Structure 1
Amino acid sequence: MSQARDHGGDHWPMRLFRSRAAGLGVSAQRHAGAHLAAGVPVLPVLIVCVVVFGDVVGGAGMIWLPLLAAGPALAATTNGPRGVLCVGLLAAVLGASLGTRDGVPGSELTAVLSALVAVTLASALASTLRGRRERVLAAVRSVAEAAQHALLKPIPATVGPFQVAVRYSAAAAEARIGGDLYALVPTPYGVRLIVGDVRGKGLPAVGTAALVLGVFREAAYDEPDLLSVVGRIERSLARNLGDDDFVTAVVAGYPSDGHLEIVNCGHAPPLLVRESGRVVAVEPTHPAPPLGLRALSGEAPGLQVLPFADGDQLLLYTDGVTEARDHGREFYPLAEGLARHLSDEPARTLAALHDELLAHVGGRLHDDAALLMLRKPAGCEPAVTESAVQEHAGAPRAPLASGRGSQRPANCPRDPLPDQV
Structure 2
Amino acid sequence: MVSAGSRLRRLAPLALPTAWGAVAVVWKFGCPLARQPGLPMRIATSVVFLTVGTGLVLGVRRGLARELARVRAVADATQQVLLRPPPARLDGLSLGAGQLSASRGASVGGDLYEAVATPYGVRIVVGDVRGHGLAALGAVVAVLGSFREAAHDEPELGGVLRRLERALERHLRERARDEHPARSGVEPEHPVAEEFVTLLLLEVAADGRLSVLNCGHPGPYRIGRRVERLPLGEPLPPLGVLPLPAVLAPYAGSRLLPGETMVLYTDGAEEARDHRGRFFALDDALVRLAGEAPAALVRRLHAALLDHTGGRLADDIALLVVRNDRVRVPAQPAEPGLRRPRPAPSSHC
* TM-score using structure 2 length: 0.71
The change in CA–CA distance for 1:198 and 1:119 in structure 2 (over 3 A counts) is farther
1:251 to 2:216 alignment:
no
Gaps (5+ residues) in structure 1?
Answer: 1-79, 85-105, 382-421
How many residues align? The count is: 279
State the match for 1:282 in structure 2: 230
Q: Distance in 2 between matches of 1:125 and 1:348?
A: 47
Structure number having the greater helix percentage: 1
State the match for 1:310 in structure 2: 258
State the match for 1:234 in structure 2: 165
State the match for 1:176 in structure 2: 107
Gaps (5+ residues) in structure 2?
Answer: 1-12, 18-36, 173-191, 330-349
1:272 to 2:222 alignment:
yes
Q: Distance in 2 between matches of 1:369 and 1:300?
A: 32
Q: Deviations over 1:255-288 (max 9, x none)?
A: 34131111111112211222x1x11123543122
Q: CA deviation at 1:347?
A: 1.7
Q: Distance in 2 between matches of 1:173 and 1:156?
A: 27
The change in CA–CA distance for 1:331 and 1:119 in structure 2 (over 3 A counts) is farther
**Quick one: which amino acid aligns to residue 335 of structure 1?**
D
For 1:386-397, list aligned pairs within 5 A.
none
- RMSD between aligned alpha carbons? 2.9
- Equivalent of 1:126, from 57, 73, 81? 57
For 1:377-388, list aligned pairs within 5 A.
377=325, 379-380=327-328
- Equivalent of 1:333, from 263, 276, 281? 281
The change in CA–CA distance for 1:114 and 1:162 in structure 2 (over 3 A counts) is same
- Equivalent of 2:290, from 330, 342, 361? 342
For 1:286-297, list aligned pairs within 5 A.
286-295=234-243
Q: CA deviation at 1:303?
A: 2.2
Q: Distance in 2 between matches of 1:196 and 1:301?
A: 18
Q: Could you say what secondary structure the match of 2:55 adopts?
A: helix
**Quick one: which amino acid aligns to residue 250 of structure 2?**
L
For 1:49-64, list aligned pairs within 5 A.
none
245-254 vs 350-359, greater mean Cα deviation: 350-359
Q: Distance in 1 between matches of 2:274 and 2:52?
A: 46
Are the aligned partners of 1:286 and 1:302 in contact in 2 as well (CA < 8 Å)? Answer: no
- Equivalent of 1:190, from 121, 129, 148? 121
Q: Deviations over 1:293-341 (max 9, x none)?
A: 123x979765222122222211011123222222222221111111111
Are the aligned partners of 2:154 and 2:160 in contact in 1 as well (CA < 8 Å)? Answer: yes
State the match for 1:166 in structure 2: 97
Q: CA deviation at 1:169?
A: 2.5
Q: Distance in 2 between matches of 1:263 and 1:224?
A: 15
Q: Distance in 1 between matches of 2:247 and 2:41?
A: 82
* TM-score using structure 1 length: 0.60
- Equivalent of 1:369, from 317, 336, 347? 317
**Quick one: which amino acid aligns to residue 107 of structure 2?**
R
For 1:27-38, list aligned pairs within 5 A.
none
Q: CA deviation at 1:81?
A: 8.9
168-177 vs 369-378, greater mean Cα deviation: 168-177
The change in CA–CA distance for 1:123 and 1:325 in structure 2 (over 3 A counts) is farther
**Percent of paired sites with the same residue:** 40
State the match for 2:177 in structure 1: none
The change in CA–CA distance for 1:304 and 1:112 in structure 2 (over 3 A counts) is farther
1:207 to 2:207 alignment:
no
Q: Distance in 2 between matches of 1:328 and 1:321?
A: 17
Q: Distance in 2 between matches of 1:343 and 1:300?
A: 39
